[in-house]
């Protein structure tokens, strides 16, 4: 019966495509990528030798038998190595940021590799014997054909079974530290390979094993390796996800490495001025230059337009000082690309692992700090020389936010609002307060932007709205003369598609009449996401909740939003209020702003009222409500209720 070689030929093409597609990842020198390449290369070589032995098998004679035996030895040596390489690849899927893989003892390592070593030795020495009992294959002189011995079959299947079980045990032991999708795909592929190996036993002449190994390699490439997620093939550079992978790998291996951040000044200008096509050509030129100058022990990453990074494994020849001197010399030139020439200005910053940074997030924060801060205008800066108090402050604030949410350190304070028409306090604004682990307040101006970045603003916003509704449900609103409670909405909250549902459900659960709620939306929210915001505002307005525009004048004022969105109240930013008492032109601007808003039928709230003089002047200008320290500072809930009862 002839071998069905078509399966093996198809497998060879699949292996070739996979290796070419993933070739660029090999440069990163990461355990996961190296393990995948080992698995792919071993399988590919086994497949090529399998094709050679299948083609050669019809021509085997007693004279050339030794050649066929050598091919068999090489093939089966590689075949038993495939499940071992596959199991090791599974071991590299463990998320080292969540769990540091065990460092096994020498005895344990030897025990793991011993079956593979013995099997390979057996395959290699087998050609020197032609024994029907112990040889891997022997030549049947009566039938003039090669025969696979039962003993050899048992040896190889035992070895493959051991490493298949090893792969399963890895998945079971580290299941909590492997991404769920990767875990399921790995187990599925392992099951398919075991099934194909069993099928190969009964259909020896069909090359099921070769084809199944190639398909498993292809599946791993598409669904676990995913080169497209970490590599920009158009530019020929790794992206931010690749940067994270490499940095976390070096940290997990406790390797000392150097990161050089390269920032192009005026990147925003060039991105707008030179057009999309020329912007791509410029980046291609920059990336190509960086790749050519640093070929060894270095990877180039494009984090975003105008922001690049090099990750260099430090050695005796290439340390921080020499690397920085070299890179600055290479990028200090006139850049020519397409038909353009530009004098680009770059700034560089170096940071060394375990001296300046301890983990990936610190590197990203430091690069962001270096990129955005106006302090660092020199061509060459070291993280060691930088004042990193801001970064430490950010870490402290983030920790305070997470612990505050976890340990109930958030509080809602209330600042009463004076009604000009009633000549007394009748409204209030709810303000969030956060305490750190020592009981000290963290400024909202510091923690709100960070909460918006890391997503905790959703939990904070929900806490504030729920707390206000709970407080209102426990008191007699008429007794305290509370006509309206202003609650701030973050920009991030405003772009949630179902924001209105969440707020209405909370209000309904506490049975708070909608007319007591006024939602203050910042001006930047209307600019960033007008479509989603308009949808939310219409739904909230239909529910009877009042809407106001907060901090008017603090950003890019856009009258079109005031005209198109259902605001009933405008809160003028304290900056404009204060300037109007210092600058006559600012006073005119404030006066005309109030007149315009009144003509549009809107109520006016003036923030930042701190003196009697300011109060009197703002009342004369026609403001409806006044808010500031002159009337009351923000106070805790009980103090606020006492103030309102006395008022």
3-state secondary structure (DSSP) of residue 138: strand
pLDDT of residue 336: 76
Secondary structure (H, E, C), 328-389:
HHHHCCCEEECCEEECCCEEEEEEEECCCECCHHHHHHHHHHHHHCCCCCCCEEEHHHCCCH
Tokens standing for 557?
């004022």
CA distance 599 to 571: 16
* Number of Cβ atoms within 10 Å of the Cβ of 268: 11
Average pLDDT for the chain: 82
Helix (H) or strand (E) holding 96: none
Contact, 25 vs 33, CB < 8 A? yes
Please check the confidence at residue 556 and state whether its pLDDT lies above 50.
no
Phi, psi of 460 (to 5 degrees): -65, -45
What pTM value is reported for the model? 0.56
Average pLDDT score over residue span 13-33: 82
Render pLDDT for 502-536 as a digit per residue (tens, 0 to 9).
999 999 999 999 999 999 987 655 455 567 778 88
Helix (H) or strand (E) holding 15: helix 6-22
Of the pLDDT bands very low, low, confident and very high (cuts 50, 70, 90), residue 106 is low
CA distance 639 to 634: 9
pLDDT of residue 523: 60
Please check the confidence at residue 25 and state whether its pLDDT lies above 80.
no
Considering only CA atoms, which of 239, 237, 247 is closest in space to residue 351? Answer: 247
Contact, 234 vs 288, CB < 8 A? no
CA distance 430 to 512: 16
pLDDT of residue 222: 84
pLDDT of residue 207: 64
pLDDT of residue 1: 42
Average pLDDT score over residue span 615-629: 94
Contact, 431 vs 415, CB < 8 A? yes
pLDDT of residue 194: 75
pLDDT of residue 138: 58
Render pLDDT for 567-601 as a digit per residue (tens, 0 to 9).
889 999 888 899 889 888 888 989 998 999 999 89
CB-neighbour burial class of residue 272 (10 A; exposed 0-12, middle 13-18, buried 19+): exposed
pLDDT of residue 198: 73
Please check the confidence at residue 23 and state whether its pLDDT lies above 60.
yes
Angle at 68 between CA 63 and CA 73, to 5 degrees: 140
Render pLDDT for 387-427 as a digit per residue (tens, 0 to 9).
776 666 777 888 889 999 988 899 999 999 999 999 999 99
Tokens standing for 226?
């995913």
- Long-range residue pairs from 44-47, CB within 8 A, at least 24 positions apart, any chain: 44/12, 44/15, 44/16, 44/19, 45/78, 46/75, 46/78, 46/79, 46/81, 46/82, 46/210, 46/213, 47/8, 47/11, 47/12, 47/15, 47/210, 47/213, 47/214
DSSP letter, residue 476: -
């Amino acid at each position: 019966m002839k071998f069905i070689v078509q399966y093996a030929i198809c497998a060879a093409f699949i292996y070739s495509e996979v290796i070419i597609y993933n070739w660029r990842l090999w440069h990163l020198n990461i355990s996961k990528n190296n393990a995948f390449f080992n698995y792919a290369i071993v399988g590919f070589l086994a497949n090529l030798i399998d094709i050679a032995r299948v083609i050669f098998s019809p021509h085997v004679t007693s004279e050339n038998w030794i050649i066929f035996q050598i091919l068999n030895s090489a093939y089966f040596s590689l075949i038993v190595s495939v499940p071992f390489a596959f199991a090791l690849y599974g071991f590299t899927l463990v998320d080292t940021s969540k769990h540091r893989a065990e460092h096994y003892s020498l005895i344990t390592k030897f025990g793991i590799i011993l079956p593979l070593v013995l099997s390979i030795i057996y395959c290699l020495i087998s050609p020197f014997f032609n024994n029907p009992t112990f040889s891997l294959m022997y030549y049947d002189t009566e039938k003039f054909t090669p025969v696979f011995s039962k003993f050899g079959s048992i040896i190889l299947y035992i070895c493959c079974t051991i490493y298949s079980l090893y792969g399963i045990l890895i998945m079971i032991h580290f299941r909590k530290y492997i991404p769920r999708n990767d875990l399921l795909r790995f187990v599925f592929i392992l099951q398919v390979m075991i099934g194909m190996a069993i099928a190969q036993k009964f259909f020896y002449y069909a090359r099921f094993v070769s084809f199944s190994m190639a398909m498993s390699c292809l599946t791993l490439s598409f669904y676990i390796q995913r080169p497209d997620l970490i590599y920009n093939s158009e530019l020929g550079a790794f992206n931010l996800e690749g940067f994270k992978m490499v940095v976390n790998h070096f940290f997990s291996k406790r390797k000392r490495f150097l990161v050089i951040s390269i920032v192009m000044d005026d990147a925003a200008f060039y991105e707008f001025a030179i057009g999309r096509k020329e912007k791509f050509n410029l980046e291609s030129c920059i990336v190509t230059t960086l790749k050519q100058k640093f070929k060894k022990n270095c990877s180039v990453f494009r984090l975003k337009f105008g922001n690049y990074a090099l990750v260099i494994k430090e050695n005796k020849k290439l340390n921080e000082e020499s690397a920085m001197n070299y890179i600055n010399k290479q990028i200090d030139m006139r850049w020519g690309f397409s038909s353009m020439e530009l004098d680009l200005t770059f700034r560089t910053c170096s940071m060394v692992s375990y001296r300046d940074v301890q983990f990936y997030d610190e590197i990203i924060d430091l690069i962001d700090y270096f990129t955005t801060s106006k302090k660092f205008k020199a061509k060459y800066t070291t993280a060691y020389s930088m004042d990193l108090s801001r970064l430490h402050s950010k870490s402290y604030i983030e920790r305070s936010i997470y612990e505050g949410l976890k340990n109930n350190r958030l509080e809602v304070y209330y600042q009463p609002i004076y009604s000009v028409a009633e000549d007394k306090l009748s409204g209030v604004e709810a303000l969030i307060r956060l305490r750190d682990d020592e009981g000290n307040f963290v400024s909202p101006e510091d923690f709100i932007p960070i909460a918006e970045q890391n997503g905790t603003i959703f939990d904070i916003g929900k806490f504030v709205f729920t707390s206000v509704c709970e407080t209102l449900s426990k008191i007699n609103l008429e007794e305290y003369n509370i006509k309206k409670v202003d609650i701030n909405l973050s920009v991030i909250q405003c772009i949630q598609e179902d924001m209105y549902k969440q707020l209405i459900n909370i209000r309904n659960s506490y049975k708070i009449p909608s007319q007591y709620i006024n939602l203050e939306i910042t001006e930047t929210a209307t600019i960033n996401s007008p479509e989603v915001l308009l949808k939310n505002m219409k739904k909230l307005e239909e529910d009877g909740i009042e809407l106001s525009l907060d901090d008017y004048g603090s950003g890019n004022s856009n009258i079109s939003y005031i005209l198109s969105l259902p605001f009933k109240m405008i809160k003028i930013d304290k900056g404009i209020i204060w300037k109007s008492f210092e600058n006559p032109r600012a006073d005119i601007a404030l006066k005309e702003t109030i007149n315009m808003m009144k003509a549009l039928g809107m109520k006016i709230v003036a923030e930042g009222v701190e003196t009697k003089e300011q109060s009197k002047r703002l009342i004369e200008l026609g403001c409806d409500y006044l808010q500031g320290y002159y009337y009351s500072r923000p106070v805790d809930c009980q103090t606020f209720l006492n103030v309102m009862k006395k008022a």
